[in-house]
Chains A and B, each alone.
Chain A
Amino acid sequence: MERWTIEDVAQNPERRQLAAELLWQLADDDLLMGFRDQEWLGLAPHIEEDVAFGSIGQEEIGHAALYFGILERLGFGTADDLASLRSVSERRNSVLIEQPNGPGHYLESPRYEWAWTIVRHYLHDVWEMALLTALTGSVFEPLGDAAEKILREKRYHLAHQELWMRTMAGHDADSRVRLEDAWRRAQDWAGDLADLGPYSSALESAGLCPGVDSVVRHYHERVAEMARVLGLPEMRMQTRENGRRGEHTEALQQALDTLSEVYRLDPTANW
């Protein structure tokens, strides 16, 4: 099979543009997911969980750094500039991922919602697992290698969220109501998650993302299976804004202001 190196892609404007369309989605999803996880650090409902969730958040940021690193090597600018300085309309993360963990700011009276946090993370993990599995066969070698590496950690993230889903579903009326409520709310934000955006068919025909349709189908099947096992309603995913097309909610601007606050003091400085 033909495999493209960084140079093969960097020197071919069409390939470079197409690879970037996919990488923005991966990098932005993981950066924002890691950011939302970081907001929980020190505040999780249970100390053992705080340790576990802290690791997951750290790994999400690590994955984002890997993707931004590939974009840097393709000549889009430094990974830190890409993570911190791009505007809202340039971001390609799903709007589901940018939503806050709950009411309140992480520094003051956060009333974060655990069931919502887990359901949202679960959907992100199912999608990323499905996508990365396909990307191990990507024609773009650095992306295939990154997918192999990240999948090893992703499996544990998904197992972690699935355990919480089963626990909440099976415990008592209170935890079940919270889970069902979070599940219903997530369907109103998740419409753009399993969407590769306007370049979907081009990504497939170029071999950057093999089998787009089966990735999407696999995601929906896995979510539907979870709903069936836990007795949750079928999830009808929709969304007003589509993050894959650069459409976002106000929550993203607030998140970006926070995550880039120090870096923007002087982006040319060594931090």
Chain B
Amino acid sequence: MLEETLTDQEAYFLERVDRGDRIEADDWMPEDYRQQLVRLIAMHAVSEIMGALPEKEWVPRAPTLYRKLAITAKVQDEVGHGQLLIRVAEDLMRPWGKNREDIMDDLFTGRLKYHNVFHMATPTWADAGVIGWLVDGAAVITQGMSLSCSYAPYARALQRIVEEEGFHIQHGESICMALAEGTPMQRAMLQDALNRWWPALLMFFGPPEKNQLSTHQLRNIRYRIRSKTNEELRQRFFSKYVHRIWSLGLTIPDPTLYQDPVTKEWTYAQPDWEEFRQIVNNRGPRSEARLGLRSTTYQEGEWVRRTIALSPTAG
């Protein structure tokens, strides 16, 4: 939408966005705005759905009754976030005649990507701790920015999601603290997990912009769908978590990591951004396996969805 050739409807819409009005599902919106929202929210929804799987690997194996309870609740929350978000996306897709089945199909065919972190392997219990603490920590930083999003249904879903993520961070931190204060075997398990997850955590925020914002980013900022750059969010993550990680006696696998005492800016070793592109294009260590798992069980459940969609006696 070029601002010099706006229709009255478009101009009025942008004026609403500019004055901080919240847009509702039934309000008129430019097609471009709808597309940007669907792109963002459907990706967020499938990231929650696929994001349940890495930790889920540890749900039946969680060590104690208390941990079994907590991680079941935690992963169930993530599935619940997927549900909330897929419904927000479905409302936006309705004028296109599309629904959640199209979202799942797009996921399985690779048209719709999910977050890089959920393509990674989780070989030990400590991975479940690091995901809860630091991946959810990173997610709250990104999602916290979107709480002021101009699209009201997304902002409302995020409000609940961010509140629950706050508990997830405490849950993950509690697992990590027990391991950090535990036996040498437990501490080594935690340090290994951190070493594995550090590059993925940096990649989580996306490549640094170096003053070159992408078209999508510019549009999303114009529409007040997002307000911060990838690099601003990553810097916040460093400021919030680096000292906490150190305080557990852990070593961050980046000897160049340094915060300028005056500007407060962090310098750090860039992760391999080519690897990031491979990962998000479903060529990560566990991409194929997790998509296979999700799509096999989705196919197995097809008759169940058909049954509840059409059942005359349900309810």
Contact = CB atoms under 8 A, between A and B. Distances in A.
Contacts of B301: 44-46, 114
B57 interface: yes
Interface string B280-295: 0000000001001110
Interface string B35-54: 00000000000000100110
Nearest to A176: B307
Nearest to A255: B60
B72 A171 contact: no
Contacts of B186: 266, 269
A228 interface: no
B307 A42 contact: no
Contacts of B289: 108
Interface in B283-315: 289, 292-294, 296-298, 300-305, 307-308, 310-315
Contact of A269 (B49, B60, B72, B183): B183
Interface in A138-172: 163, 166-172
A68 B65 CA distance: 9
Interface in A22-57: 34-35, 38-39, 41-51, 54-55, 57
Contacts of B52: 41-42
Contact of B72 (A48, A58, A68, A112): A58
Q: Taking chain B's interface residues, is the majority helix, strand, or loop, or is none over half, making it mixed?
A: helix
Contacts of B82: 47
Contacts of A163: 314-315
Chain A CB within 10 Å — which of B60, B80, B308 has the most? B60
B242 interface: no
Nearest to B50: A42
Given A35-B60, A38-B60, A106-B60, A46 B79 contact: no
**Interface size, B (range):** 35 or more
Given A170-B311, A270-B182, A271-B67, A262 B76 contact: no
Given A43-B294, A114-B301, A167-B307, A55 B61 contact: no
Contacts of A20: none
B314 A109 contact: no
B255 interface: no
Contact of A271 (B64, B304, B313, B315): B64
Nearest to B65: A65
A211 interface: no
Contacts of B72: 34, 38, 41, 54, 57-58, 61
B262 interface: no
A1 interface: no
B2 to A, nearest CB: 39
B73 interface: yes
B22 interface: no
A207 interface: no
B308 A167 contact: yes
A263 interface: yes
Contact of B304 (A45, A107, A110, A258): A45
A261 interface: yes
Nearest to A80: B64
Contact of A58 (B53, B64, B76): B76
B307 A168 contact: yes
Nearest to B60: A38
Contacts of A107: 57, 293
A38 B60 CA distance: 6
B294 A167 contact: no
Contacts of B308: 46, 167
Contacts of B237: none
B181 interface: yes
Chain A CB within 10 Å — which of B67, B182, B307, B312 has the most? B307
Given A111-B300, A167-B308, A270 B314 contact: no
A107 B181 CA distance: 30
A79 interface: yes
Contact of B79 (A35, A42, A114): A42
A50 B80 CA distance: 8
A175 interface: yes
A2 interface: no
Contact of B296 (A83, A109, A178, A269): A109
A55 B74 CA distance: 10
A174 interface: yes
A65 B69 contact: yes
B146 to A, nearest CB: 21
B175 to A, nearest CB: 8
10 contacts: A42-B56, A42-B79, A46-B305, A51-B80, A55-B76, A58-B69, A58-B72, A84-B64, A167-B308, A271-B67
Lowest 5 CB-CB distances: which A-B pairs, in order?
A45-B301, A54-B76, A170-B313, A45-B304, A271-B63
Given A46-B304, A167-B308, 20 more contacts: A38-B72, A42-B52, A45-B298, A45-B301, A47-B86, A50-B76, A54-B75, A54-B79, A58-B76, A61-B65, A68-B65, A84-B63, A109-B293, A110-B293, A166-B314, A169-B313, A172-B307, A172-B310, A266-B185, A271-B178
